[in-house]
Amino acid sequence: MNNVNFFDAEAVRGEFPMLVAGDKGAKPLAFLDSTATTQKPACVIDAMDDFYREHYSSVKRGVYRLSARTTEAFEATRKNVAKFINAKTEDEIVFTRGTTESINLVAWSYGRKFFEAGDEILISGLEHHANIVSWQLVAEMKGAKIKVIPVKDDGDLDLDKLPGLLNARTKMVAVTHVSNAVGTVNPIAEIIKTVRAAAPQAKILIDGAQSSSHIKIDVQELDCDFLAFSGHKMYGPTGVGVLYGKYDVLDSMPPWHGGGEMIKNVTFEKTTYADVPARFEAGTPMIAEVIGLGKAIEWINEKGIENIRRHEAEITNYALEQLAKIPQVKVLGNPKERGALVSITLDGIAVSDAAMILDEENIAVRSGHHCAQPVMDRFGVDATLRLSFGAYTLKRDIDRLIAGLQRVVRLFA
């Protein structure tokens, strides 16, 4: 299946129990909300079910065989994640509850220790709220300032402005890899190169929530300091995410949660903390979810992430071609490189109304501001209808979407 010239999307779809079941009705399910969360292949569901049925136990805390087996599976995922993004070592992989928690971890650990009054945090105008509010909170506490890379009319960042936004007070640059509201694929390598040249003291965090299952990421080649992503957006379970950090940077950071497993020694007078990554993983972890994430990564590797990306690009282009045939549809932005999503508005029609009519046709799409209100403000809209795709999306899903939108137009226009 990982042959670069072969991707059987029909067969891939058949590995997703929810989609197989959804295809059996009079109105088959067209699931077009993969940017919010992806469906799960049977192998991920089975791996988690096997854990609960066959070797449920805690990790790292028992010498008995069940615990040893579970710990081995848990730590195998850490190694698989490190290999997946080409980290130097699995010790640079911290398990969290998701991208949001990963960003908060950096903000409240690195930011709390190293930010000072007058320091600057640079984000982009395409950010999800998680990569805005987290920095606002720590900036308010430390007296730091947030600056924003502006967005052009086509949805691309105005990177001509980037050098002028960087200076000796820039402490953190936190930028999304792929916009969850427009679909813009930001040129992360170019951004990092510019930051390293103009503000070498700055740390760089990449929000990879919308890229981890679509684009091959090599953290060593990119030279980012942090990368955050979520399991549920890459065919794995909810409740688990990853923070990658360069080891020396992570090692300089204090813990942000206290509890079991993140310590070396505890007395009533003083606590010494565990080495990285255990320092940041207090308490009993999300064991089943980590195991499920490991299986999801195996599944992506088996299919080939470049194969998935090519298939999604074909689907996205097909969707754009078909949407262009409906005069009332307006596409948000026209970036140089687009991920597997398209945001639209419809002239004179509320997107929430459109989403409800599409739901009557068993077509699942997202309406709203997508936790990206500044993006909506930039383009002068309150909300959009977001159509997003995955490895299992087929052209017939797009055909059903177009028919559904045509019904919306007939009803409301």
List the pLDDT tens digit at each of the 413 positions of the chain.
444 457 999 999 999 999 999 999 889 999 999 999 999 999 999 999 999 999 999 997 667 888 889 999 999 999 999 999 999 999 999 999 999 999 999 999 999 999 999 999 999 999 999 999 999 999 999 999 999 999 999 999 999 999 999 999 999 999 999 999 999 999 999 999 999 999 999 999 999 999 999 999 999 999 999 999 999 999 999 999 999 999 999 999 999 999 888 888 988 999 998 899 999 999 999 999 999 999 999 999 999 999 999 999 999 999 999 999 999 999 999 999 999 999 999 999 999 999 999 999 999 999 999 999 999 999 999 999 999 999 999 999 999 999 999 999 999 97
Distance CA 377, CA 368 (A): 13
Rounded to 10°, the helix 130-142/99-106 angle is 20
Task: Please name the amino acid found at residue 405.
Answer: L
Strands of 275-332, DSSP E: 329-331
User: CB–CB of 147/161 below 8 Å?
Assistant: no
Q: Which residue ranges form the domains of the chain, and what is each CATH number?
A: 9-31+304-412 (3.90.1150.10), 46-301 (3.40.640.10)
48: closest CA among 295, 296, 292, 297? 292
Distance CA 46, CA 18 (A): 14
pLDDT at 139: 98
End-to-end CA distance of the chain: 45
pLDDT at 217: 98
Distance CA 308, CA 297 (A): 13
Q: Is 371 a catalytic residue?
A: yes
245: closest CA among 276, 214, 283? 276
Distance CA 159, CA 173 (A): 13
The DSSP secondary-structure symbol of 329 reads E
pLDDT at 1: 41
Give the CA radius of gyration of the chain. Answer: 22
pLDDT at 5: 54
Beta bridge partners of residue 330, listed in sequence order: 345
In the chain, the largest separation of any two C-alpha atoms, in whole Å, equals: 72
Task: Please name the amino acid found at residue 148.
Answer: V
Options 371, 381, 402, 403, the catalytic residue = 371
Distance CA 342, CA 389 (A): 9
402: closest CA among 316, 343, 312, 326? 326
pLDDT at 67: 87
pTM of this prediction? 0.96
Distance CA 196, CA 138 (A): 23
The DSSP secondary-structure symbol of 275 reads P
- Long-range Cβ pairs for the range 374-377 (8 Å, 24+): 374/125, 374/127, 374/132, 375/125, 375/126, 375/127, 375/151, 375/179, 375/181, 375/182, 376/181
pLDDT at 401: 98
pLDDT at 264: 87
211: closest CA among 189, 193, 196, 194? 189
pLDDT at 2: 46
